[in-house]
Structures are given as structure tokens and as C-alpha cells.
Amino acid sequence: GYISVDELRRGIETLPEQVYNETTYYGKWARSMCTILIERGVFTEAELSIYISPVSESQPETEFEAGSDYVRVKTENFLSFCRKPHLRTPGYVHGVVGLVTEKLGRFKAPNSMAFHVENVTQTLYRVRFRQVDIWPMGLYDGLVTDTVDVEIFHPWLLKASQLEYENQNLINDRISPAVPENYCATTSKHDLKSEHEHGHQSHDHGTRAEIEQRAIDAEGPEVIDERFAKGLLSALEDKGIISADELRQAVEQAEASGSVLNGAKIIVKAWRDPAFKHRLVEDANSALRELGLEASNPHAATKLVAVCNTNEVHNIVCCTLCSCYPTGLLGPSPSWYKSRSYRSRVVREPRAVLKEFGTEIPQGCSVQVYDSTADCRYMVIPTPPENISDATDEELLQTITRDMLIGVKR
């Protein structure tokens, strides 16, 4: 294969902090894959950037009108994918709103040229910013009419409003100490009391950081990651490494290879047969072969460990490093199991997490957390119901849920 599981994990761990924090679970996978494929020589940086770059000839550009359109400069994390990009947009204007003063024409994109991709062109604009909007209180000693013009390529610009432009220094306490005495910030150009009169609904503008985050959220990590993943898939298809049909078949096979029903059947067998339960706890992989089931995950050899709930101990499973889970046996893991919240909290405050799932641990019962960090996968054997002898296997199967096998339910 082109990528091993450990390489994939390492690629995720080495993502830039901002990228790691602001991308979705599978978005991290896609970026890691790109990094490893470049390292292995499957693609060059230039080849892959054609498909995954956030700016390309194929992406439509909305024209900005000089003298009338206001724009907000994107923050760097819009363009930070699996590698740090070549930036030609000064960091001091990231997130700031300015007025477009001139359309300078189309030029070769420097961020693409830096990686030997020469067929991408972008429109370059000159944008004017007020100094008091750029620098925090006390860092600019001048008038509110002082400005700076910056040349910025279109992909870095988001449509903004005159209202955002006029009020950004109010929001961020960015009015210079040197503002003339007759300059009234609360009434200059935009009377806040008149907001309702021209359709601007009353709301809390928030800090500049909050405004920047709203701009990021407007596009959303899911949209960005979907575009990134589609670009990677197109690159793999064009390279002849995989086809869309092969990918579909692989997904279907993964989804069909395991199900919660498999786990439920194992539990019922363990409840009914003490000897099988003993073998299951001693060597789950071997015990499952007796039932014609495979305990190891399909993409990597793993050891399944079955742990028993008792009146004295309640077991719960997690993977703090990624989301290790017995997918080959139980099918895809639930989304919450992969979430940062569950992974980080369950080892620190397991009882609180259990309570959020509606699970109350009896007084005097210990909680045992199993953190699956590498080659082991865990499955919880719940305590059997009191009336087990009166129930049929089918009735027992209906009582066993995926959450019980993970341990968030008893």
C-alpha cells in the first residue's frame, strides 16, 4: 500500500496547530494522506497543489468594484492545508476590512508559482485600510483619516459591508489616542441608534477575533474539508491509483464487514456459555473464530480484548490519540466516539461523561477506563439481566446496544 496506519497517524500529529484545531476529523485524514503521498514520491508538491489548492483557475471570482466595494482579508488558516503556504498578504491586515480602491489586473498567482505551478492567474486589487482599524489602542499615533494601501490577490478577500468597515474600530477599541477632540466615534458616519432605521438589526458585534471566526465559520470546516477531499480523490483518480468505483466498493465493504449485531451475538453467547466467556476474556481473537467472526480490523492486525462489567467494576472504552475502535467487528464508530470532547474528557472525568449518557454508576462501583492507543481494541461484556433464563436469544439481542459494548451504558 501507499500509506500505513502509523504513517497516517504521524501525519495527523504533525499538522500545524491551527490546521489541526480547525479541521474536521476526516479533514485531518485527508491532509495527512497528502503529506505522506508527497513524502513517498507518489505526487510532487506541484502536482498535488493543482488539485487541493484553495485557489485555481476553475474557481469563479466575484468582481469587486473600486471605490464602492468593501472587503475583509481572510486569515491565514483559510489557506493552510497540509503544508504552510507561500504568503504574499501581510499578516497585519488579516481580518481587517478595507475599501477596494483599484483593480490592478490579473497576474500569475505567487502562492502557486512558489510550488512550480505556473498556469494559475488571479486578480490583484489595491485595498485601502484605516490605520486605526489595523493597530490596537495606543500602537498607532495618528489621525483616524490616516490610511495604508495594500495589494491583495482576490482569493484572500471576502465580501464585507460598509457597516463592518465603519464600526470595526469601535468594536476593537482601535481608536487612536491622537483622534481629534471633535471626532465622535459613536456617531461618526454611522449612528448606532439609527441601525433599525436602515435595516441593520441590533446585535452584539463582538471582538475582532469573534468577527474573524464568524468569517471562517461562514465557509465552514466541512465545506473546506469536502473541497480538499474531493481534490485529493481527483488527484488519485487521474494518477490511476484508485477509481471512484473502487472507492465505493471499499466503503461498502467496510460498512458491511462489521455491525453491532455481531457484538450482540457474542455477548449473548458469553452470557449463555461460561466456558466461551472464559475463552473470550483469555483470547478474544481465537474465541471469535469459533463463531466465524474476525476480531482484527481489516486495515491492520489488532488484538481484541474483552473486559467484563461486574457489580464492583464498570468498564468504558476510548482512544485519546485518535479513535481506535473494533470496526471490523462492530462496524463504523459513532461520531461522538471520535470527537475531541469525548476523547479528552472520558479519561479525566469518566463519571461525568457517563452521567451525560444517562448512566449512573452504583455507589461503591469502580470505573475502569481502557485507552486504546495502538494495536488493541476493546469490547465491554455487560452484566447479564437477572431474568436471562426466561428470555430467548432474540429477546436478549434486542437489549444489547453499541453503547453498552463501548461502556457508556450499563
User: Over the stretch 105-159, which tens digit does the pLDDT of each residue have?
Assistant: 999 877 767 666 677 788 999 999 999 899 877 678 888 889 999 999 998 899 9
Long-range contact list for 235-238, CB < 8 A, 24+ apart? 235/43, 235/47, 235/48, 235/50, 235/51, 235/52, 238/51
Domain region containing 359: 258-406
pLDDT in tens, 323-367: 889 887 888 889 899 988 999 999 999 999 999 999 999 999 999
Q: How far is CA 208 from CA 134, 164, 171, 179, 212, in A?
A: 10, 11, 7, 20, 6
Same domain, yes or no: 169 and 274: no
Q: Are residues 74 and 139 in the same domain?
A: yes
Q: Mean pLDDT throughout 30-44? A: 88
Does residue 342 form part of some domain?
Answer: yes
- DSSP E strands, 245-348: 303-308, 313-318
Partnered with residue 254 across adjacent β-strands are none
pLDDT digits (tens, 9 = 90+) for 85-109: 667 888 889 999 999 999 999 998 7
Which pLDDT score is estimated for 367? Answer: 96
Residues 281 and 400 in one domain: yes
> Are 399 and 291 part of one and the same domain?
yes
* AA letter at 281: V
59 part of a folded domain: no
241 lies in the same domain as 197: no
User: Which CATH number belongs to the domain containing residue 80 in this structure?
Assistant: 2.30.30.50
Taking all residues of the chain, what is their mean pLDDT, rounded to a whole number?
A: 81
Per-residue model confidence (pLDDT) at position 257: 64
Which pLDDT score, from 0 to 100, does residue 204 have? 40
Three-state SS at 368: strand
Is 126 part of any domain?
A: yes
181 with 320, same domain: the answer is no
Nearest to 124 by CA among 99, 145, 151, 97: 151
Residues 189 and 240 in one domain: no
Query: pLDDT tier at 294 (50, 70, 90 boundaries)?
Result: confident
Q: What is the pLDDT of residue 266?
A: 95
Domain count for the chain: 3
Q: What distance separates the 2 farthest-apart alpha carbons in the chain?
A: 89
Give the C-alpha separation, 89 to 103, whole Å.
Answer: 16
91: left (phi over 0), alpha (psi -120 to 50) or beta: alpha
Q: What is the pLDDT of residues 159-211, one digit of tens each?
A: 999 999 998 876 554 333 333 333 333 333 333 333 333 333 333 444 444 54
166 HSE (CA, 13 A, CB side) = 14
Question: Which amino acids are annotated catalytic?
Answer: 319, 322-324
**Domain identity same for 384 and 265:** yes
Residues 98 and 179 in one domain: yes
Q: What is the pLDDT of residue 259?
A: 81
